[in-house]
Structure 1
């Protein structure tokens, strides 16, 4: 594999104040950065937003992640410049570390795979671990957060992380932390009180849109909604089920309209909760449980015979999970002839077509051909017992996360056009 490369694509964030719907939207800068590496389940494609934290305010660049709950900042007491990718808690007069005897320290969250503990100063010590084997640890704390010209959100709980290990040091060097956006009580969107948020991601080097609050735009097409899967609090223990993720019910997978013969039992969580379907902006590609991936792989290979030339290298597996790859001289010419893949939910369908189906592997060539892989991976190889719908397949879709009504809405929208209509 070639050495890691980095490129940036500018996005724009429209941010209406949650409790004042009549207020004009606040426009912030949101960046999309891509850093390919060998194992990149989390944060390889990052939507980042600038946030002012503390008093006096320090600018923090936070990764927007719908798959995480607790927000955190990389903390460094030696920071003396606003250009640093770290937050200095000691210069903020509103920073308050949380003690290990405080109720917040004992709150159970999705991200805390290890229980919070006491450090030598009797402060609440937390460790967050992610599926790409990265982790961060530090002190649970509160401080004020401000986005654009919005009112300061005082007393927001976050992790002030002082150490950790990373699978993506290049990306981490550009960001101050992570903004958890799932449905957990400690997530940023829950603490800020937004009833919904939505985004539209452009597949090209052009602006996209993110709106926190209600997107009342007359030109938006009707959204197709699918309900979030709800598990009653009194239900039996489900050790592998994430109760605060944006979980939807996957009813089937199609290739060129043909429904794949996948048993219903494979598409639904089992008695342990393994096998749920989650929408995660912190993941780049889409991962399917082994049996479903095998069915998709077989049918896609069959329907593209004569269109695509298989790589025919059994030991080549992109990112450790994608083993269906091809030799292609010009992707655009082949993309128009590819069969679409549909992810069918109750009330909605996500269609993946054209260039979104194939991803070029950086630095890999075979003569005049580039190496392209199907943008669906095998979650069994990833070590994650779930279906995960990634950022790549959400491009040119208006994605709405409605927390108030427990549903996700989507519709095909040209994100470039949406940006232009909003005057961005």
Structure 2
């Protein structure tokens, strides 16, 4: 079973981002040698992670992080890596004396290569962002905003600077230089912002001309792997599912997300009686299925969640006593919960696997990934454990979201060149060894 929430798997993605004119062309070619990097576990304090409007409206303190340097001379920063967001942003200190000692903020005035984006720039006319950029009439600089989990917003300047990741050549990239700080604490890794990795024009992936990247999120704290470039590896029998894109623009469909087609769900091998219309986007675009590294657990829309909850409770009745507390929902959306005697772990090996079926591929969630121990929650001498599938309607959220907890020990490839996502079950520590990484 994973460790408690504040210590669950947090990955340090040591990316290598190429220039579009040189290394990017090399890693984009089929058969080109990919860049391979280890992943490391990191801790992010509770309550520090802002969520854009399309995200869940509650705090998560488990996120994937990437450490890199920005500016000239380089300033080290730690950013949340999010395949569900476009605009990268950094918390910018107001001057040279900003508190950046531990990577909490970026100091733009200390960087010789920092430049604000003017209102007339094409980057300021991006239509991919949830909140369109605006123009500051006084400075003629492009302004961007970001929404937080508590409903507040942070305004900032759209800017560019040099990003350096690993030993790769530097890349000039656009990002939001935000003015508002958020809570942090001394017992975790401070995060300076977010690295957007979706398919939007201003995402880090697009600006780096990266046409394929993949990762394996480990269930261990210190074993995982990230590849930038095509991962044509013989020991990875990937099954691919196509990225889904409606023919017409729809108001509630995120067209730059990594959306796939969810066709069905099985519990312990039994198909759930969910109509196909429930699993597909409706006429407004609501109901798409997104693969998202920026969300911890997986969320299903109400009808699908209710079917999963009913069948999972039925099959686990001989194994685990249900919590039966209608007033309790972990993180506001997880109410399929159980009682486990204190000091014991849930009987993971006996739990029925949950299989998400896609067109051409599937993802099996089994064992330790099915239940999560709620920190500090007890009923008498029992601990409380909840199913790691949440009810999106309770958040609320208008999409199916597959979080990184259910991507553990699954090789996930984002193939933008062919418009598909590849999935293969694999032990991440074994994959790391096969790739020559000593972790």
User: The residue matched to 2:198 in structure 1 has which SS?
Assistant: coil
Correspondence for 1:205: 221
CA distance in 2, matches of 1:371, 1:333: 10
Alpha-carbon distance, 1:368 to partner: 3.1
Q: Out of 414-423 and 402-411, give the one that drifted further.
A: 414-423
Q: Which residue of structure 2 lines up, in the alignment, with residue 416 of structure 1?
A: 429
**1:9 and 1:207 in contact (8 A); partners too:** no
CA shift digits 1:94-147 (9 cap, x unpaired) = 11101223222121123x325423263221111122567464320000111111
- Structure 2 distance, partners of 1:59, 1:94, is 15
* Equivalenced residues, count: 414
Q: Give the alignment's TM-score, normalised by structure 1.
A: 0.90
Contact preservation (8 Å) 1:48, 1:64: yes
Task: Give the 3 Å change call, closer, same or farther, for CA 108–223 of structure 1 in structure 2.
Answer: same
Stretches of structure 2 lacking an aligned partner (at least 5 in a row): 18-22, 49-55
Which of 323, 328, 339 does residue 327 from structure 1 map onto? 339
Instruction: After TM superposition, give the deviation of residue 177 of structure 1 in Å.
Output: 1.0
1:411 Cα deviation after fit: 0.4
Question: Structure 1 residues 300 and 132, CA, compared in 2 at 3 Å: closer, same or farther?
Answer: farther
- Aligned equivalent of 2:84: 67
Aligned match of 1:179: 195
Query: Structure 2: how far apart are the matches of 1:376 and 1:8?
Result: 17
What is the CA distance between 1:219 and its match in structure 2?
2.6
Deviation at 1:191, TM superposition (A): 0.4
1:98 aligns to 2:112 (yes or no)? no
Residues 144, 34 of structure 1: alpha-carbon distance in 2 compared, 3 angstrom cutoff: closer
Task: Work out whether residues 252 and 259 of structure 1, in 8 Å CA contact, stay in contact via their aligned partners in 2.
Answer: yes
- Structure 1 residues 34 and 416, CA, compared in 2 at 3 Å: closer, same or farther? farther
Partner of 2:131: 113
**Corresponding residue for residue 20 of structure 2:** none
Distance 1:391 1:29, change over 3 A: closer
Please state how far the C-alpha of 1:385 moved relative to its aligned partner. 0.8
Question: 2:277 corresponds to which residue?
Answer: 265
The answer on whether the counterparts of 1:73 and 1:177 sit within 8 Å (CA) in structure 2 is yes
TM-superposition CA deviations, 1:31-58 (whole Å, max 9, x none): 4436566987565321111111111111
Name which of structure 1's ranges 61-70 and 120-129 shifts more when overlaid on structure 2: 120-129
Q: Which is strand-richer, 1 or 2?
A: 1
| Partners of 2:169 and 2:87 in 1: CA distance | 21
Greater Cα shift, 77-86 or 94-103: 77-86
Q: CA deviation at 1:423?
A: 2.2
TM-score by length of 2: 0.87
Corresponding residue number in structure 1 for 2:165: 147
Decide whether aligned partners of structure 1 residues 240 and 331 sit closer, same or farther in structure 2, where only a CA change above 3 A counts.
farther
The 2-side partners of 1:306 and 1:195 are apart by 48
Residues 266, 172 of structure 1: alpha-carbon distance in 2 compared, 3 angstrom cutoff: farther
Moved more, 8-17 or 379-388: 8-17
SS of match in other structure, 1:225: strand
Aligned counterparts of 2:198 and 2:355: Cα–Cα separation in 1: 25
**Of 185, 189, 193, which residue of structure 1 is paired with 2:209?**
193
CA contact (8 A) 2:33 2:230 kept: no
Distance between the aligned counterparts of 1:132 and 1:415, measured in 2? 35
Change (3 A) 1:146 1:292: same
- Cα distance in 2 for residues equivalent to 1:383 and 1:24: 39
Cα-Cα RMSD: 2.6
